[in-house]
Amino acid sequence: MSDQMSIFIAAPTGFLIGLLLSMPVGPVNLTIINGAAQRGFKYAILIGFGAATMDVIYCTIAFTSFSPFFYIRIVRTSMEVFTFVFMLFLGMKFLSAKTVTGPMHLGGAASRIEKRIDEKLHPHSAYMIGFTRVLGNMGVLAFWIFAAAYFMSHEAYFTNHEWVEDTVAAKVAFIAGVALGASSFFCVLSYIVSRRGYGRFNEQTLVRMQHVSGFCLLALGLYHGGHIAWQLAHLARHRI
């Protein structure tokens, strides 16, 4: 029953996070939009599937390779604070966007890495174009590391289970949810643009999508900050 409950929590959580991470407008979404407008739905959805595949790979790395470190007290405490700051940073960046940009980039060095990967691999197929767009974006990997730290160390609302339990079943459920959420968004985006054309799917709509994602991340960050404050207050009361 415990395993079933952890899967029931992890799978929809992964779906929502995969959906939210796909909404901010960056290189992947712009490539899908251009591909759908110029070459149709099938071409665009292959780009989306390629991007979703690399997203899942980064997510898997974060939840498997880094998870043992989240249970070391000093690492866990540090990640609590960094996660709070990172979520606020991303949320504010998404909310303050006034034009279509690539909000998940970490700066000039990350952009050079993405460009070098693109030059080395020379993607020609639609699938590989989407794959390399995410592969070169170190901001995505950073997001998943912080997300893993948060979801594996905080209990879901009204339960005594973490959002993602440290079990194979829960992690697989979460990652599968991420794959489904990201793929669903890319599929819908490809379909809408291929049917309506880029002109009717205007920049203002894209920016609003980014704002929704930013609002959700900011709300999650503020909740996380409140949780840290509550823990500190609780600890202070016990020391008095």
Whether 83 has a pLDDT exceeding 80, the answer reads: no
d(CA 159, CA 18): 22
Residue 75 — pLDDT band, cuts 50, 70, 90? low
Type of residue found at 43: Y
Whether 157 has a pLDDT exceeding 80, the answer reads: no
Type of residue found at 50: G
Mean pLDDT to the nearest integer, 107-120: 51
Per-residue pLDDT tens over the stretch 41-73: 999 999 999 999 999 999 999 998 877 666 666
d(CA 118, CA 122): 6
